Structure 1
Amino acid sequence: MRKCQLCAYVLLVLISQSYTISDFANRGGETVKKSCSDNEYWNGKGFCCDRCHPGFKLKEKCPEPNTRSECEICEAGTYLDNSNYNENCFRCKECNKPHSKEISPCTFKSNRVCGCDPRYYYKKLGDLTWECKECKKCGLGQQKAVECTGEQNTQCRCKDNHYPVKGKNVCEPCVKCQEECQHLCVSSTPRNPVKSASPTSPPGTLPQILVPVCAFITVIALGVFMLYEGIRLWKKKRLVKALSSQESSPASEDQTLIITVQPDTIHESVPFTNQPCETEQNGKLPDCVPREIKIHEFFYFVLDEVPIGRFKELVRRLGVSEQNIERAEQDHRNCKDAHYQMLKVWSDSGSGGGSNVLPCHRIQMFVDTLKDMCLVNCADNIENRFLSQDTSASH
């Protein structure tokens, strides 16, 4: 008897512990599940997997974190029009109703669109049922207000000086004063004739005068603008010529060069004074050559800093097209390899630095993009790792 009681007690303890563990796992799983992004799904194994692209169905879930799911294209006659993790595709609609026709074909990304022959319109009977119904014909004394096309049936209205007959699809002409023909109930007392407009101010005179005046003003403004631009360019060329002549003429070390700049050309000389590397007074060349930054060194550092869930947003902001992003994901099942290929596409689209060297202005653009995405810590780490060294090397 005591052994049975002991066995029952042990069984109750094990059951309560199993419920506790399952509740904890459910709560933990729900927390992790909520952290999946819009292009991912919870695979039930403790981590998120990426969804398949439109037109592809799920063949195999990702085996572990940071790996891609295996997807395959929908068979002929089926489609999936959204990113998904479905194991089967939807079957396309058939345009087999009487008087129906195909508007657009079935593809692996979109369903077939059906329409109706002329003089018929598309009418939905339910969520999945439909038919082609004959268009309504206007009755006697009526005229078309809305044409029969697409999913819209013909709408009719009464002709002028007609009224609708209740219960019938006809309109009859107004012949006496009644509720539907109020215009026949007007008093027969003649109204005061409206005075005609003065013959000295015929309608349309004002627009006829404004058109040539506006054209004349436009021509004058265009001429003034072209004259201003010509004078500005002439002054700029004269200034450049004066500077080049002063540089070519010999001058002693103690000679001071004075150039008088007219007020209109002050803004033209700004690029000469705001150069990023100013020469020293003794004529030595500036020490402004930045350190060469290897592309693979920069890429692997970025892959460790930028969160995986924000990486597609980053490369989209950097100008990488959706086609290149999808191609990188299809070519590389591992996320880091796919992200490395996206960065390679971005670096190849720029200029300067050589085939294996990344110029500093491209890295600065990269850092500014991260700050716009509110990834300030990532931007500061990359800036301290690469740009700060270039700045210190230039002093």
Structure 2
Amino acid sequence: MRKQQLFAYVLVALISQSYTVSVTGGQTLKGTCLDNEYWNNKGFCCDKCHPGYKLKEKCPEPNKRSECVKCENGTFIENSNHNDNCFSCRKCNRANSVEKSPCTFRSDRVCGCKSGYYYKKLGDTGWECSRCKECGSGQMIAAQCDGQQNTKCQCKENHYAVNKNLCKPCVECQDECPDLCKSSTPPNPLKSAKPTSPPGSIPHILVPVCACITVLALGVFMLYEGIRLWKKKRHASSSQKSSPASEDQTLIITVSPDTEHNESVPFTNQQTEQNGKLPDCVPREVKIHEFFYFVLDEVPIGRFKELVRRLGVSEQNIDRAERDHRNSKDAHYQMLKVWSDSGSGGGNNVLPWHRIQMFVDTLKEMYLVNCADNIESKFLSQDPSTSN
């Protein structure tokens, strides 16, 4: 019995919290008004005004209508209401703004923006027309600028973003360019278990190809050098074989001025054989090509241009020799030829003794003493100045 009384008390308390009893003569409960009604403080429900109308007088008693009036020009109310005033319509007076739809007593004026601008909200009530964004270099339009949405840009294909307004083309494998990291050859299913090479590594096929090209180039270079050295030795040996006979026929002796006839008298082969050797007063004349090839092997390549400059060869002739001959020894031979042609005496293809002595003295001035001594011992061993 006690439990039933407690349950009754709780039920009465819940009902009393949900409803209030009207203090007027009627017994209408607060909270029982319909959606198109509102609670009047006099203790009954009144009807609401329709959209576009405002409340002028509340209903005087239950089942009586409220008095409503239409909103004035420039004002509106969108929903059913019991407001005393209407809302003012907004004005499209912002820069670059236009009117999309006019103000009516049931709806507010709708504002928009000119072409090239979009509607941007500023807080709860503020707004402005902002210029549409233009996509930068390497970008394309992902979404057009329209209404309240600005232009959306994205990188073109095979490009990556540098900043918001710039995309650059992919040129190598990197995180932003994964397409360049893919192998151009289809994977072999038999080798799929093996680890793949890291992105950007050189394909394995290039290694043997580069090695073959290097070996082939080295072989061609060695073959070229071998042929060149063989031709040089053959030319030198042929010149050495022909030089003794020609030297015997071109030996000259100069008669002193107090003799009756001032002329040169050639020695014959018979006189040379009788004497056994040349007299000390007769200088030895050397074939030009024999001297040149010996000098080319003796003088360091790095000092050669300095040597010919000291010998009087002009820079113009040095440059011409280097342009005409890719091989350095051929160019140096041409420089020596220019030097020998600028001298006098000796005859055709013959270098006189005093020119060789000048050559040796120049080498000594350059501190190339070993080169000078080797040339002097080979070509100036019968120096007339050393005779008794």
TM-score (norm 2): 0.41
Which has the greater radius of gyration? 2
Higher helix share: 1
Higher RCO structure, 1 or 2 (CA under 8 Å, sep 6+): 1
TM-score (norm 1): 0.41
